[in-house]
Structure 1
Amino acid sequence: MEAMSVITTEHYKLYPSPRNRERRIFEHEVFVPHPYALVDPPSYGPKGRWTLFAAHRLVDGKNGQLVTFELEEDAERFKERFVVE
């Protein structure tokens, strides 16, 4: 069994989603402070690429998810439409 890769940045410790098509952190980040919420970036119709990570925010120890987007408009659309259910 392969160990899960961890990416540590200045702000987060990240665990990539197996659904990611690439291992990259894009410039436009949205932190979702709900670690168990269903986050499905494709359902928000992004025009560019995206990645999803389980995230541990280092500044305050909060766990959640980080969605990163290649395009700022995709990040804004996600922020406007995302609702925790």
Structure 2
Amino acid sequence: MATQTITTDKYKLYPSPRNRTKDVFAHEVFVPYPYAIIDLDIMELAGKTTLFAACRLSDMKMGQVVTFELEADRAKFERLFTPD
């Protein structure tokens, strides 16, 4: 089964099979570590989130994009996330 990509103004996104929704939310964080393990469940975020493997179109840098329904969750993620 082929993975459907999503192209935005900033990124080419490859959805994680663990996502519960296909939405790309307004609040986002680009993580420049394509192989880092991002476990959103342990962060106990209040709103919905989605995780994508990503290519940043401005410089073709690979990484991951996490999108958040709530701005507070984005801030909490940035505070808690540390790459492996």
Question: What residue ranges of structure 1 are gaps of 5+ in the alignment?
Answer: none
| Structure-1 separation of matches of 2:54 and 2:68 | 15
2:71 matched to 1:75?
A: no
Runs of 4+ deviating beyond 2 Å? none
Task: Trace 1:58-73 onto structure 2 (pairs within 5 A).
Answer: 58-73=57-72
Instruction: Work out the CA distance in 2 between the residues paired with 1:43 and 1:71.
Output: 17
Give the aligned residue type for 2:14. Y
- What is the match of residue 22 of structure 1? 21
What fraction of aligned residue pairs are identical, expressed as a percent? 55
1:40 CA displacement: 1.0
Aligned pairs for 1:36-75 within 5 A:
36-75=35-74
Task: Measure the CA separation in 2 of the matches of 1:43 and 1:70.
Answer: 17
Paired AA for residue 83 in structure 2: V
Q: What is the aligned length? A: 84
* Unmatched tracts of structure 2, length 5 or more: none
